[in-house]
């Protein structure tokens, strides 16, 4: 695993994963268990989109031709890497904080779509996405696929990362479709503590 290549192990957990895999909920729970602070590239992105008066989908599309967006996000991610005792929810956290404990959450797209639609009923951020066109499981899966393609293109061009979801990028990979949130969080905390002690 990549984490084993680094002598210094920072007290930072970076969590990546597919849309709807439970990154935010898992990161929140882990931060609560450990007493760590919490940061999220999704929050960074939404703030940038809001400041420009556009949707998150429009921001992702714009980022393909406007490098200033990724530069701003990159700098925010790097700044988190300078801290300690933090859980970072970020698709590229493993890249920007290489000496962190790196986790990837995977989930089947159909399960992700159901979660996103349910979350939209109570989550204002998700409501914006649903109102923007994610109004059925099929449209959510289409949106996930399009966003994944957009990100893959940008990450390849900007960082030379062929696949930011490849298991070899991470210290721990968990399928959240078959495990409840609390169990996922406890499994990550246990693995993280073992990693820090080794």
- Strands of the sheet containing 37-40, edge to edge, are 37-40, 86-89, 12-17, 101-106, 172-175
CB 8 within 8 A of CB 87: no
**Which residue has better confidence, 120 or 83?**
83
- Find the domain containing 30 and state its range: 2-177
Is residue 68 situated within a structural domain? yes
**Which residue in 79, 89, 104 sits closest to 3, CA to CA?**
104
Would you say residue 184 lies in a domain? no
Question: Which has the closest alpha carbon to 174: 190, 187, 193?
Answer: 187
The pLDDT of 55-68, averaged and rounded, is: 84
pLDDT in tens, 94-110: 999 999 999 999 998 87
Number of domains in the chain: 1
- For the beta carbon of residue 118, count every other beta carbon within 10 angstroms: 12
Query: Looking at the predicted structure, is the pLDDT value of residue 40 above 80?
Result: yes
* pLDDT per residue as tens digits for the range 138-171: 777 777 777 778 778 878 888 899 889 999 999 9
Q: How many secondary structure helices (H) and strands (E) does the chain include? A: 9, 5
pLDDT of residue 139: 75
Whether 198 maps to a domain, the answer reads: no
How many residues are recorded in the chain? 198
pLDDT at position 141, please?
A: 76
> Does the residue 43 lie in any domain?
yes
What is the CB neighbour count within 10 angstroms for residue 1? 14
Say how far apart CA 103 and CA 16 lie, in whole Å. 6
Residue 153 lies in a domain: yes
Judge whether 196 lies within some domain: no
Q: Report yes or no on 27 lying in a domain.
A: yes
Radius of gyration of the chain (CA): 16
Domain harbouring 71, CATH code: 3.40.50.300
- Helix, strand and coil content of the chain, in percent to the nearest 5, comes to 60, 10, 25
Res 4: pLDDT: 43
From the list 52, 143, 44, the residue with the least C-alpha distance to 91 is 44
Q: Which of 18-22, 70-74, 96-100 has the highest mean pLDDT?
A: 96-100
Q: Report the distance separating Cα 62 and Cα 68, nearest Å.
A: 10
Q: Is residue 113 part of a domain?
A: yes
């Amino acid at each position: 695993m990549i984490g084993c290549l680094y002598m210094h192990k920072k007290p930072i957990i970076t969590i990546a994963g597919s849309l709807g895999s439970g990154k935010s909920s898992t990161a929140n729970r882990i931060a609560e268990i450990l007493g760590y602070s919490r940061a999220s590239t999704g929050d960074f992105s939404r703030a940038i989109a809001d400041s420009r008066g556009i949707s998150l989908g429009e921001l992702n599309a714009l980022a393909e031709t406007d490098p200033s967006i990724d530069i701003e996000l990159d700098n925010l991610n790097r700044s988190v890497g300078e801290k300690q005792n933090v859980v970072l929810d970020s698709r590229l956290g493993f890249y920007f904080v290489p000496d962190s404990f790196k986790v990837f959450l995977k989930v089947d797209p159909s399960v992700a779509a159901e979660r996103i639609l349910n979350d939209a009923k109570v989550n204002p951020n998700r409501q914006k996405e649903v109102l923007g066109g994610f109004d059925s499981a099929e449209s959510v899966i289409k949106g996930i696929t399009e966003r994944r393609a957009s990100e893959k293109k940008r990450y390849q061009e900007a960082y030379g990362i062929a696949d930011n979801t490849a298991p070899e990028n991470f210290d721990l990979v968990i399928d959240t479709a078959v495990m409840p949130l609390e169990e996922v969080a406890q499994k990550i905390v246990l693995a993280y503590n073992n990693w820090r002690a080794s």
